[in-house]
Amino acid sequence: MGRGAAVRIRHAGPEDVATLAPLWAEFCSAAGASVPGTSGIGTRVRDRLEAESRSGRPETYRLAIAEHDGQAVGFASYSVVERGILADASAVLVDVVHVASGRRKSGIGSALLRDAVVFADEVGAAEVVVNVPSSDRDLNRFFARHGFGPLVVRRTASTSALRRRLGLDVRVEARDASELTPVQRTMRRRAILGRAARGVRGVAGSGT
Ligand X SMILES: CC(C)(COP(=O)(O)OP(=O)(O)OC[C@H]1O[C@@H](n2cnc3c(N)ncnc32)[C@H](O)[C@@H]1OP(=O)(O)O)[C@@H](O)C(=O)NCCC(=O)NCCS
| Cβ nearer to ligand X, comparing 49 with 97 | 97
48 counts as binding ligand X under rule CB under 6 A = no
Q: How far is Cα 87 from Cα 52, in angstroms, rounded to an integer?
A: 25
Spacing of C-alpha 87 from chain mean position = 19
Residue 17 or 27 with smaller CB distance to ligand X: 27
Cβ of 72: how many Cβ atoms within 10 Å?
19
- The residues in 155-194 that bind ligand X, with binding defined as CB under 6 A, are none
Taking CB under 6 A as the criterion, the residue among 68, 83, 104, 188 binding ligand X is: 104
CB of 138 to ligand X, least distance (A): 6
From candidates 20, 31, 65, 72, binder to ligand X by CB under 6 A: 31
Which residue's CB comes closest to ligand X?
A: 109
Indicate the burial class of 168 (C-beta count within 10 angstroms; 0-12, 13-18, 19 or more). Answer: middle
Instruction: For residues 181 and 178, give the distance between their C-alpha atoms in angstroms, rounded to a whole number.
Output: 8
Residue 49: φ, ψ to 5° = -65, -35
Instruction: Name which position in 94, 98, 128, 130 contacts ligand X (CB under 6 A).
Output: 98
Contact between 142 and ligand X by CB under 6 A: the answer reads: yes
**Would you count residue 133 as binding ligand X (CB under 6 A)?**
yes
Tell the burial category of 16 from Cβ atoms under 10 Å away from its Cβ (0-12, 13-18, 19+): middle
Contacting positions for ligand X (CB under 6 A): 2-3, 27, 30-31, 34-35, 97-99, 104-110, 133, 136, 138-139, 141-142, 145
